Amino acid sequence: MNEYWPWLVLAGLGAFHGLNPAMGWLFAVALGLHRNSRVIIMQALPAIALGHAASIAIVAGAVVLTGLVIKAQALLAGGGILLIGWAIYHQLYGHRHRVRVGMRTGLAGLALWSFVMATAHGAGLMVLPALIPLCLADSPLGATAAEGSIGIALVAVGIHTAAMLVVTGAIAVAVREWLGLAVLRSAWINFDWLWTAGLALAGIILLVSAHPS
Amino acid sequence: MATWKPDPTFYPSPRMAMKAPAEALAYVASFDPKRQVPDGIAVVDVDPKSSTYSKIVNTITMPNAGDELHHFGWNACSSCLCPNAPHPHVERRYLIVPGLRSSRIHVLDTKADPAKPKIVKVVEPAEVAERAGYTRPHTVHCGPEGIYVAALGNAEGKRPGGVFLMDHDSFDIRGRWEIDRGEQELAYDAWWHLGHDTLVTSEWGTPDTFEEGLVPEILLGAQYGRRLHFWDLHTRKHQQTIDFGDKYQLVFELRPAHDPTKAYGFVNCVLSLADLSSSIWVWHRDGKQWAVTKIIDIPAEPAEPDQLPPMLKGFKAVPPLVTDIDLSMDDRFLYIACWGTGELRQYDVSDPFKPKLTGSVRVGGIVGRATHPGANGRPLNGGPQMVEVSRDGRRVYFTNSLYGVIDEQFYPEGLQGWMVKLEAKPEGGIAFDKEFFIDWPASHRPHQVRLQGGDCSSDSYCYP
């Protein structure tokens, strides 16, 4: 069981990220309504997933590279501190971002928007507790291990993104076809709070696992 | 500050907002034209079932005298549900109330007791000037990047005026909005098409040309504002100017369609120098550019010189002076306030290029002095001015003062303030609510009306 949990966490967090209206499905639905087209929703969803994946991949790449030069324990501790700092930043200043992409955007703009949203929200950092053990597992052999880590990191990003895309796509279709946007008024719970809690929790998990037992 | 669920007054689309419950309170800017007594926000009971219906139930007094409260707005509204910049858990709770003359900005919290808001923050004029680079704050709109405030002068009270941003939680002044203002110098109103990434601004003049009243030489020389400016809402760059030409003066209130997929809106031009008429124009797409088309002309009405104030005697006519317009939530009815002739008109603008007159009431007016069923036959002065429409489109409120020193130019005997309400039929047609006539406290005059929970000029929407 132990070797599966990081994968489950990756997929679970993917689902959580996909659930958040601010991460993309709502934008896809809005574009569909504006352009009176179901096709645009089906085009928007992969673009959004691509931007999200790029943001996660940068963090995964950083883990693999940093793992080559510092000890796992230091990486865990550093990641933990970074996450808690990000949680505080997100709580205090998360609403202050410049808006750069509007309703007339193309798919490239949408992917960029998704990348910026995921990065600013620390989506990649939130998956560190799953990424670090996967990417650093049994790596005493330098270069060969690094290549293996890159492969594992890519699979990790893929699994997370696939889960995110499935959930965000399902919600987009459900809202567009059956639920209607009125559902926003009651069902849009405060993801910012959940998100901040998620970041802080991930930080604490890292700090605890960094502590020599 | 934040909540678990979105503020119940936020609606994804204008169609949903039309189903909102009726407002129970109206907030009205109330100012002392003599600048002796502090201005206030009057809270008016607009719930017909209440025992204090059509009465001012409270007045929140500002800490200083001479602010000239004018326009104001909410810290947050339905645009918080936009997908590209969501802030759904901010509360619509604070009224942002600038002094147009003082440049002081007050923040009133309406949450604990909506009938008795409390002043929770005051940003002093020096701080506004230093942080925003602007003074004479006018229009306030909640929007995708916080609170947008259109200001008429720069820090020195000269040109250019422009737009600045405030934080919708802390109310800190975040600074100038424009990144590239192009040829824009004069400012007045600002609003946007969220579905078309476009912000529109209009023009009045610099503070030195209106703070002592309209200057006839500037007006007749066509030196007041007469242009519209179109901006990219997100890159904040100026894209296009449309000049109405040297016959037209004072291009004022911007009422873009509420449906974010529609790329058109309405604006009033107060005065034609050719014949003193007022006009309504629609801006719309024309290929890759914006264009304007005049859709309504409201002519001046002949009058005897002895019925007219000194400024108008030579013209032997009373100009309609259309100084405010408002568009119903379904983009179907446009309300037009003729402050000079004392008339409020309703047009069906379902086809924005083919408006149909569907209703008219008369009250006040420079010559008409029409009375109101609730005023015991007394002649009234001032005329329909700031007009606000309820979200469901069934009720229309308006007040009669334009701007302290300009009131005196057109109503030199001294304008006595009032506020009235119309009932509007869903298929068109308007009539006075005979019970609703507020004789304003004589020391003050009423200006903009804001309705509890939002109204037709407060919110913008990202979904059709």
To the nearest whole angstrom, how far is the Cα of B293 from the nearest Cα of chain A? 24
What pLDDT was estimated at residue A144?
Answer: 53
Q: Whole-angstrom distance between the N-terminal and C-terminal Cα of chain A?
A: 21
Least confident window among A71-85, B151-165, B408-422: A71-85
Within a domain: residue B8?
A: no
DSSP string, B167-234: -TTT--EEEE--SB-TT------EEEEGGGTEEEE-B---GGGTBTB--HHHHHTT-S--EEEEEETT
What pLDDT was estimated at residue A94?
Answer: 79
What pLDDT was estimated at residue A93?
Answer: 82
- Residues with Cβ within 8 Å of B372's Cβ and at least 6 positions away in sequence, in order, are B363, B380, B418, B420, B432, B437
What pLDDT was estimated at residue B1?
Answer: 61
- Whole-angstrom Cα Rg for chain A: 18
User: Is B10 close to A185, i.e. CB distance below 8 A?
Assistant: yes
Domain with B309 in it: 14-451
Phi, psi of B142 (to 5 degrees): -75, 140
Nearest to A30 among B167, B169, B463 (CB): B463
What pLDDT was estimated at residue A8?
Answer: 95
Nearest to B138 by CA among B216, B57, B196, B225: B225
Interchain CB contact of B262 with A (< 8 Å): no
> Each residue of B345-377: pLDDT tens digit?
999 999 999 999 999 999 999 999 999 999 999
User: Is A185 close to B8, i.e. CB distance below 8 A?
Assistant: yes
Are A163 and A94 in contact by the 8 Å Cβ rule? The answer is no
Within a domain: residue B7?
A: no
What pLDDT was estimated at residue A95?
Answer: 76
* Residues in chain A whose Cβ is within 8 Å of chain B: 21-22, 26-27, 29-30, 33-34, 95-105, 113, 181-182, 184-186, 188-190, 192-193
CATH (domain of B235): 2.130.10.10
User: Is B6 close to A97, i.e. CB distance below 8 A?
Assistant: no
Mutation target among B196, B234, B235, B460 for the A interface, most CBs of A within 10 A: B234
Pairing of strands B301-302, B289-298: unpaired
Question: Residue B416 gets which letter from DSSP?
Answer: P
Within a domain: residue B293?
A: yes
- Whole-angstrom Cα Rg for chain B: 20
User: Quick one: average pLDDT of B21-30?
Assistant: 98
> Each residue of B2-20: pLDDT tens digit?
789 999 999 999 999 999 9
Cα separation, B242 vs B226, whole angstroms:
9
User: Quick one: average pLDDT of B90-116?
Assistant: 98
The mean of the pLDDT values for chain B is 97
User: Quick one: average pLDDT of B303-309?
Assistant: 96
Residue for token pair 């809106």: B265
Estimate the crossing angle of helix A128-136 against helix A39-69, to 10 degrees: 50
Residue for token pair 């096709």: A39
Interchain CB contact of B8 with A (< 8 Å): yes
Which chain A residues touch B194 with a CB distance below 8 Å?
102-103
Mutation target among A185, A189, A190 for the B interface, most CBs of B within 10 A: A185
ipTM of the prediction: 0.93
Are B336 and B289 in contact by the 8 Å Cβ rule? The answer is no
User: Is B464 close to A33, i.e. CB distance below 8 A?
Assistant: yes
User: Quick one: average pLDDT of B446-457?
Assistant: 98
What pTM, to 2 d.p., does this model score? 0.96
To the nearest whole angstrom, how far is the Cα of B110 from the nearest Cα of chain A? 21
Interchain CB contact of B234 with A (< 8 Å): yes
Domain with A41 in it: 5-210
Cα separation, B275 vs B257, whole angstroms:
29
Nearest to A188 among B82, B88, B194 (CB): B88
To the nearest whole angstrom, how far is the Cα of B97 from the nearest Cα of chain A? 22
Helix (H), strand (E) at residue B328: none
pLDDT surpasses 70 at B130 = yes
> Each residue of B238-267: pLDDT tens digit?
999 999 999 999 999 999 999 999 999 999
- Report residues of chain A scoring pLDDT below 70: 1-2, 137-146, 213
A209 burial class (0-12, 13-18, 19+ CB within 10 angstroms)? middle
Are B175 and B132 in contact by the 8 Å Cβ rule? The answer is yes
Least confident window among A87-96, B110-119, B425-434: A87-96
User: Is A193 close to B2, i.e. CB distance below 8 A?
Assistant: yes
Say whether B165 sits in a helix, a strand or coil: strand
To the nearest whole angstrom, how far is the Cα of B257 from the nearest Cα of chain A? 14
pLDDT surpasses 80 at B40 = yes
Question: Residue B237 gets which letter from DSSP?
Answer: B
> Each residue of B76-88: pLDDT tens digit?
999 999 999 999 9
What pLDDT was estimated at residue A3?
Answer: 77
Within a domain: residue B111?
A: yes
User: Is B12 close to A181, i.e. CB distance below 8 A?
Assistant: yes
The structural domain count of chain A equals 1
Within a domain: residue B2?
A: no
User: Quick one: average pLDDT of B405-412?
Assistant: 98
To the nearest whole angstrom, how far is the Cα of B75 from the nearest Cα of chain A? 14
Give the angle subtended at the CA of A195 by the CAs of A189 and A200, to the nearest 5°.
140
pLDDT surpasses 90 at B461 = yes
To the nearest whole angstrom, how far is the Cα of B227 from the nearest Cα of chain A? 25
What pLDDT was estimated at residue A141?
Answer: 46
The structural domain count of chain B equals 1
Which chain B residues touch A101 with a CB distance below 8 Å?
84, 234
Within a domain: residue B217?
A: yes
If you measure CA to CA, which chain A residue comes closest to B11?
A: A185
